[in-house]
Amino acid sequence: MKTRTLAIAGLALGVAAASNAAMIVNTDNTGAGSNAHPANDTLHLMQRVNFTEAFNLNSIAVSAAGDGFNLFLATNVGDEADDEFDIVWSANDVEVSSGFAWMTLDATGVSVEAGEYYLIMTSDADGGARWQRSFRDLEGTFGVGDSGLATNGLDTITEKTFSADPGNRVYSVRIDGDPIPAPGAAALFGLAGLTASRRRR
């Protein structure tokens, strides 16, 4: 009985350890070049990001420069997209420096399922904002899909120019979060605690 209790407790500890924060999406910002976003225009910069499992997000960071920008994380784009339902996180009027720098934005309280999402940058500032780019195949880069441009507004995007070329640069982004344990794993963790408590008695 003691061996079984220890085995369950050990497995539960493994489940708990798996919930530590992890970098879900990561790129560097050393790739050459940037892509300007003109203010007061319908042009939006878009980067696909991929979540391999469900996460509770902690932060979203981009390497940017300019007068300021708005950033959105959406589950869908195109004619069928709806701002109210498809945008799961946003940050508005983010001020940046004249030179490229990582801007880390709070995303606590946001949960995402496994799948593909779109990170979208817009700008209302007179001078616009720039989103630095990095080489897709840069060592250490993971979790990013194709980058591209979209027009005709955030909720009615009808044109996307994503490129799957391995040599194409992607926008610099880092997303951090905690994996959400599967329901079975959470139940096992509770069972282990209950078993250990009874054993101590």
Domains in the chain: how many in total? Answer: 1
Domain range for 53: 20-180
Assigned domain for 71 exists: yes
What percentage of the chain carries pLDDT values higher than 70?
63
* 140 to 89, 113, 134, 185: CA distances (angstroms): 25, 23, 11, 29
Q: Tell whether 201 is covered by a domain.
A: no
Residue 102's domain is classified under what CATH number? 2.60.120
pLDDT digits (tens, 9 = 90+) for 141-167: 788 888 877 766 555 566 666 776 766
Residue 32 lies in a domain: yes
Please report which confidence band the pLDDT of residue 14 belongs to, taking 50, 70 and 90 as the band edges.
Answer: very low
Tokens for 121, please give them.
């940058």
> What is the C-alpha to C-alpha distance for residues 63 and 96, in angstroms, rounded to an integer?
9
Q: Does 103 map to a domain?
A: yes
Per cent of the chain over pLDDT 90 is 23
Q: What is the pLDDT of residue 168?
A: 73
pLDDT digits (tens, 9 = 90+) for 57-104: 999 999 998 888 899 999 987 766 777 678 999 999 998 888 888 999
Residue 187 lies in a domain: no
Residue 186 belongs to some domain of the structure: no
Least confident of 28-32, 54-58, 113-117, 168-172: 28-32
Does the residue 63 lie in any domain? yes
